Structure 1
Amino acid sequence: ADEIVDANQAATEMLGYTHDELLTLGPSDIHPDELDKFQEFVEGVFDDGTGWMDELTCYTKERGRVPAEISASPMEHNGRPVVLAVVRDMSERRKRERAQRRLYEITADPDRPFEEKIQAVIELGCDRFDLEYGGIARIDPETDLFEVETISGEHDHLVPGKQYPLSETYCQLVTDDGKTAAVSDPASNGFEGKLCYEQFGVQAYLGSHLEFDSDVDRTFFFVSNEPREDGFSAAERTFHHLMGQWVQYELERRQREQELRERTDHLSALIETAPECIKTVGADGTLLQINPAGLEMLEADSDADVVGGCVYDLIAPEDRERFREFNEQICRGERGTLEFDIIGLEGTRHHMETHAAPLRRPDGTTAQMALTRDVTEQVERKRELERALDLLEKTECIADVGGWEIDPDTKEVFWSDHIFELLEVSDDEEPPLDETLDMYHEEDQPIVTDAVETALDSGYSFDVEARIQMDSGEVRWLRLQGDPEIGDDELVSFRGAAQDVTERKQREQRLEEVIERLEASNERLEQFAHAASHDLQEPLRMVSSYLQLLERRYEDALDEEGEEYLEFAVDGADRMRGMIKGLLDYSRVETQGDPLESIELDAVFDDVLRDLQFQIEEHDAEITAEALPRVEGDASPVSYTHL
C-alpha cells in the first residue's frame, strides 16, 4: 500500500512536513522518481526480514532533494504488516565525500604547482565550511607573533605580510592545546575587546596548529565576517584537520626540498671549488665525473678530454694493475685508500693519494666515489725530511752531539738516538728526569740540577760542562746546552743538546801541563840570561877600556891598517855590549819586549856583513843581496841573530 502510517519528529524536520501532513502521504510522494526501486526494497525486507539501501532520494515539501540511506525491518501495526524504516539524511555525508574527493584530486595532481594547490585547497575549505576567507599565518607564541602568509580573497586586515599580536587573534586557541579550534560565538568565548573581533570583525573561526621542527610554526585557518548560526560539526573539524595535515606535509616537503637544493648547491660549489680531485669511476674503469681540480691534475682543458674514457690509461704503468684491483674492490662495496702515480695528458707525472667509497647510482650500478689529493710535493718533502734526518743523525755521530727535550708540564724526557749512544744506555725508553740527573758525577750534579731547574722556573738558557759516570766505570765530560722557549709568558718547550767533550777536556788538561812546564823553563831561562848578561858585561867593559887605552897611547905608533883593526875591535866591543843588553831585555818575558818598529833590512844586512867580515875574508866569500824591504820588528841588535 502507498501509505505512511506513522512518522517521528526527525522525519518531519528532514522532509519539511507536519506530522499530520506526512500521514496523508505515501512513499510515492516522497520517492516519486524511485518508487519501483523502493517497492522492490520493501519486498526484499518482507522476504529477508531486514534490508538496507544507501542510494535513495527523498523529496521535501519544498521539492528539495535529500540523499538518504534507509535501513528497514518488517513489523505489525494495528494488526497489519508494515515496514519500519529508519531514514538518514546523507546530505552532509555526500558533501563530505565530495569534498574529500576534491581534496584528493587537488593534492594528487602532479602537474599543479604548490601555490595553485594551496589556493585550491583553501577555496575548497571555504566552500566546505561556508566561510569567507582561508589562509596560513606564521606564528611564534614566545614572541607573540602572528604574520599573515597566505589569504584567499580580499580582507581589510588579513593581508600577506601584516603582523599582529598572536594574543589578539583567534589563533591563540590552537597554540594553547595544539588541536583544531573553532569559534562561532566570539563574545561567549572571551574575545570581546580583541582585535580579531572588534577591529577585524571576524565572527566565525576554524583553525589548527601546524608544528615544524626546522621552521617557524604556522596556523591553518578559515574565518568569516558573517556570524555562523550553528557550531562546527565533528565532521567539519575532522575534514579541516585532514586538510591541515596535507598543508603541513607539503610545507615540510617544500622545506626539505629547499634544504636539499641548498645543500646540493653547496655541495656542488664545494666540489667545483675544492682543491682536491673529486671523481666517480665505473666498475669497468670508465671516468664518469670529475671536478675542475681533477681536470687540472690530468692536464685536461674540459670534461670532454677525459670523461667517458678509461681512467686506467691515465695511471702510471707500474701502478695500473693495482689501481684496477682497487677500483673493482670499491665497486664491490668496500672502502679504501691507495697511493699511485698518474701521467697527465701533457706527460707530467704526479703522485696521488685517493680515499674512495662505493656510490650507488640511479641505474642500480655501483661506482667508485673518490677524493684524490696530489701529494707529489708532500712526498718530496718527506724524502727531503728523511734525508735531512739521516744527515742530522750522521752529523750527531760525527760531532758527538745529541738532542734532548723535557716536557715543561710532565717533566718527561725525550732523547735523540745519539744520546743513548753517548751515555751507553739501552734505547728502550728514556729514564725519568731525576734518574737522568743522578747519572752525573756527584760533584757536578748540583751544577746540572740547578741549571735545569732554573731554566724550567725562569726560562733562562744555560751552557755548562759536567762529568758523567758510565756503567763501565769510565768518566766522560759532557757539554750541556739548554734553550727554553717562552710563549705568552709561559714555558712552552725546553730543548737542548749534549756533546761529548772528553777529548777536548783531556787536550786542555795536557795543554795546561805543557804551559806550566814552559813557564818554569822560561823562568829558569830568564834567570840564566840575566846572570849571563851581567857576568859578560864586566869582561867586555875591561876589553873596551884597554882598547880605548891602546888607542890613546899608541895612536901615533899605529899605521893606517893598525888603526883600522883597532877601530874594528872597538866597534865590535860596542856592538857586543848592545847585544848583551838586548839579550837581557829579551829574556825579561814579563815585559813582553819593546814595541815593534819599522826596520830597514838593508841596514841590518850591512851590520851582519860587518860582524862576519873576518869569516867572509877567511873563506874568500862574496855576499850579495838585492834591495831588501822595510819590516816591522824588534830593533835590538840581539834580534838580528834570529834573521
Structure 2
Amino acid sequence: MVSKRFLAVGVRYRYMEPRERGADGDRDPERRVGDLVRVLYVGTGGDPVSAALERGHGGLSVETASDPESALVRIESDEVDCVVTDGRSGERDGGTVLDEVRRSHPDLPVVVYAGDPCEEFVGEALSAGATDVVRRPPDTEEHALLAHRIDAAVESGGGADCDDAAATEETLRERERYIRELHAITSNAETSFDEKVRRLLQMGCERLDLDFGFLIETDEDEFEVHEMYGTHGDFRPGLTAPLSRTYCKYVIGSDGVFALRDAMEEGYADDPAGESGIVCYLGSEVTVGDEVFGTFCLATTSPRDEPFTDAEVTYVELMAEWVSYGLERRRAETELAETVDRLERSNDELERFAYVASHDLQEPLRMVSSYLRLLEDRYADELDGDAEEFIAFAVDGAERMRDMIQGLLEYSRVDTHGGTFEPTDCEAVVDEATANLRVAIEESDAELTVESLPTVVADETQLVQLFQNLVGNAVEHGGDSPPRIRVAAERDDGEWAFSVIDDGVGIDPDDAGHVFEMFNDLDGGGETGTGIGLAICEKIVERHDGRIWVESDPGEGATFRFTIPDRDGTVSPT
C-alpha cells in the first residue's frame, strides 16, 4: 500500500505522493531559507501568535507586521513564503492585505486566521483569493492547525505539484470555478440548510463524475446516513450501521481527507467497507465546534483512472468546511430557540402563578379585614385603647398585604395584558397620572412642573402607570419640606429620554442598582408603598425597548430617567 501524508490546501487537506517532493525532501529550495518557511503575520500588537508559532513549530520563521502598509513593504522585499492575516484585527485590514497581495503577487499563499468565521465570511475570503481560511481556537498557545495549513499552503503555492506554469494556471482556474459554484449554492438565503447540503452532494458528484454523495454522522462505532445523493442498495437516509462498513472510519480524527482512486490496487481489497461495492472514495471530516460530527464524502463503485486532483480535493474540503459552519450555526440557532422557549414557558408559568395567587390570597384578606372591622363595630364599648390599637394595626397590615398582592397582579399583567403601541401624547399622559395622585399631591403640598413633552409610540395605559408610579414615588419620599418635582424630556440618539426629578431624601449610590427590585423599601421605614411600583416601572420600560435608571445622592434628591425609542409616529413637542 502506498504511504500517504495528509497536508492542508486552502480550507481542505490533500494527500501527496512521495514523488511530489524534491530529492532532498525540501519543498522548494528557491523560496526557502535553510529549512524554514518564512511567514509574515499581519495582526494586532501584542498578539501571541507569532511567538507561539515559532516556539511550537521549528520549521517556521515568523515576522510580524502591525498594519497593511508595513506588510506590503516586507512582501515587496521577496522575503515571505506565506502571509497570515489576523481576522481579529478587522475585516477591512485583512481584506486590504489580501487584495494587495493578489494584485501584486497572485501566487503568494495568503491564509486568513479568524476567530469563529461564519460561512459567508469564508466564502467571501476564498472568492477574494485567500488560499485558506483557518478557524482560530480559543487557546492562545494552540496553533498547530495553523502551522499545518501554512505548510500546505506553501507546498501548494510553491509549484511542487505542477510541471509547468500552464498546469498551475489551469489548476487555479479549476479551483476558482469550484469556489464560485460552491458560493452560488451556499449564499442563497432562500434555500434551507438541508437543501443546500443535498445540492452540494449532487454538484460534487456531477463535477467529479462520481455516483454517490453522503453526509455521514458518526457516533463512536456507528454511523448514520444524514443526507444522500444517488441510489445505492446498501445505503439510504436514516440508515444506521457499524462504522467499519464505510471508509469514513479513516477520515474521523485524521485532520484530513481520505482519498481512494481504486481500493483494490491501493491495498483495501479486504476492507469491510468494500463489501458495499464502493472502491473509489473521497471524504473530509465535518465538525461542529470542537466535536466531530462525521464526514462529507463522495464515492462510486468504479475505480478512477487518475488520482483526484488538488482542485477536486479542495472542492470536497471546502464543502465539508461549509457544512461544518452550517451545522454549527444551526445548532446555535436551535439552542437559542430552545432557551427562548423555556424562558417564555417559565415566564408564562410565573405570570399565571402570580395571577392565581393574587386572586386566591385577596379573598381571605378581605375576610380578615371585614371581621376585624365587624369586631371593632360590635364590641366598641367593651374594647380599651390597646385593643383598638391592635385592631387598627391588624386592619392596616391586611390592607397593605392586599395592596402588595394587587401590585403583584399588575406586575404579572405588564406583558400579558399590555395594549397596542400607538402615538401617545405624553403631556396628556402626565396630566392623567397626576390627576390620579391629586389627593397625595395636595396633602404633601407638592409643587409639580411639567415641561414640554413629546408624542411617542407607546402603550398609553402603561405609560400613565409609569409616570404615576414615578411621580408618586417622588411625593412619598419628599422629606420634611413640600416636595418639588419636575418632569422633562429630551431627544438623544434616536430615543426620547424622560426625567422625573425631585428634591427629596435621595438614594445612596450603592443602592441605586437595587431600587427596581421587587419589594424594595427605599426609605427603610416600611410604612409607605408596596415595594413593587418601581419594579413595575422597569418592566413597562423594558416592554417598550427602553432603559430606566436612577441618579441620586443622599439628601440631594433623585432623578429617575427612562428612555422610549423614537419610532415612526413619534412627534416632538412644539
Q: TM-score, normalised by structure 2?
A: 0.39
Of structures 1 and 2, the one scoring higher in RCO (CA 8 A, sep 6+) is 2
Q: TM-score, normalised by structure 1?
A: 0.35
Larger Rg: 1
